[in-house]
């Protein structure tokens, strides 16, 4: 049994909202605590890709997702973009790790340059400075030289750049299988056990 962790998950305006939601579902299902942050553009993407009205009020999102995923009281906490007194905003109370999934190139650039203009960027800055695990899941193609330079800069700081590139050697038969492939790689980076798919060399 994996020791329960506190993971900050940030949803931004890149395509791939299904990856972020599946990650939250898996983390909560495994008994971990999730601190959820989301951008304004993520609300637009959620509607466009999933017909999901992502409310503007953090309390509404917390209630909705807690009910959907069967979270225990206090297991999922959702914070607004300007909630500067939220735990992720300070190095005195950092999470065990943070995942930005999906991650826009603009958000990645801001994190690479320490902009800290809202809670998502500040939370990422805290995780980097406190030496905790930060995983960024960009969903963009092709990458420009600017994108690659920003990713290299972050990688040299120890940030994990994990593009949402599913593999097909597992012979996926559904969109859910493709989503689970990427989420499994994220969970591996966090050191969290899962059974989303067989390991290489295993049959089940």
Q: Which residues are annotated as a binding site for FMN?
A: 13-15, 39, 139
DSSP annotation of 87 reads G
150: which 2 tokens?
Answer: 């920003």
164's enclosing H/E stretch is: none
* Main-chain phi, psi angles of 150, to 5 degrees: -65, -40
Q: What gap in Å lies between CA 11 and CA 24, rounded to an integer?
A: 10
Instruction: Provide the annotated binding site.
Output: 13-15, 39, 139, 169, 185
* Nearest Cα to Cα of residue 100 among 81, 71, 124: 124
31's enclosing H/E stretch is: none
**Neighbour-count burial of 97, counting CB atoms closer than 10 A to its CB (0-12 exposed, 13-18 middle, 19+ buried):** buried
Q: What gap in Å lies between CA 73 and CA 76, rounded to an integer?
A: 8
Instruction: Provide the annotated binding site for dimethylallyl phosphate.
Output: 169, 185
The DSSP result for 17-63, as a single string, is HHHHHHHHHHHHHTT-EEEEEE-HHHHHHHHHHH-----SSHHHHHH
């Amino acid at each position: 049994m994996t020791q329960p962790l506190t993971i900050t998950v940030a949803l931004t305006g890149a395509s791939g909202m299904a990856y972020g939601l599946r990650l939250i579902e898996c983390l909560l299902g495994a008994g971990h605590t999730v601190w959820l942050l989301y951008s304004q553009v993520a609300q637009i993407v959620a509607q466009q890709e999933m017909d999901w009205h992502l409310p503007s009020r953090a309390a509404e999102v917390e209630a909705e997702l807690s009910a959907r995923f069967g979270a225990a009281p206090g297991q999922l906490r959702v914070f607004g973009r300007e909630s500067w007194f939220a735990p992720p905003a300070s190095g005195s109370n950092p999470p065990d790790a943070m995942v930005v999934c999906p991650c826009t190139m603009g958000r990645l650039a801001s994190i690479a340059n320490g902009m800290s203009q809202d809670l998502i960027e500040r939370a990422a800055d805290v995780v980097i400075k406190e030496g905790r695990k930060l995983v960024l899941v960009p969903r963009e193609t092709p990458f420009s030289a600017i994108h690659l330079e920003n990713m290299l800069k972050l990688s040299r700081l120890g940030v994990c750049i994990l593009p949402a590139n599913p593999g097909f050697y597992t012979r996926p038969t559904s969109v859910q299988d493709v989503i689970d492939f990427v989420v499994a790689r994220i969970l591996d980076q966090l050191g969290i056990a899962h059974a989303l798919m067989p390991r290489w060399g295993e049959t089940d």
